[in-house]
């Protein structure tokens, strides 16, 4: 069936372009973030795993998540 400006096929293309592509891009970036392609940067003195403030911690482990401090 050929694409017709008088039928409804063009409407589906426009809707996919306006709605579908942004949703697909959001899912792509969310997936990449979950897989670790965009590592979170924590400032010095924060846990590298969860970001908890380790000021005054002498135990060597994060009390929030248990990750090794360092």
Residue 26, pLDDT above cutoff 90: yes
Report the distance separating Cα 63 and Cα 67, nearest Å. Answer: 8
Q: What is the pLDDT of residue 13?
A: 86
Q: Rounded to two decimals, what is the model's pTM?
A: 0.48
pLDDT of 29 reads: 93
Q: Which residues pair with 53 in a beta bridge?
A: 46
Residue 39 has pLDDT above 80, yes or no: no
Q: With CA atoms as reference, report the closest residue to 42 among 23, 62, 59.
A: 62
């Amino acid at each position: 069936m050929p694409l017709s400006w008088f039928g409804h096929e063009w409407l589906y293309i426009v809707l996919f372009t306006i709605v579908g592509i942004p949703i697909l891009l959001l899912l792509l970036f969310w997936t990449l973030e979950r897989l670790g392609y965009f590592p979170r940067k924590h400032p010095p003195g924060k846990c590298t795993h969860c970001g908890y403030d380790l000021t005054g911690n002498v135990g060597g482990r994060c009390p929030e998540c248990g990750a090794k401090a360092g």
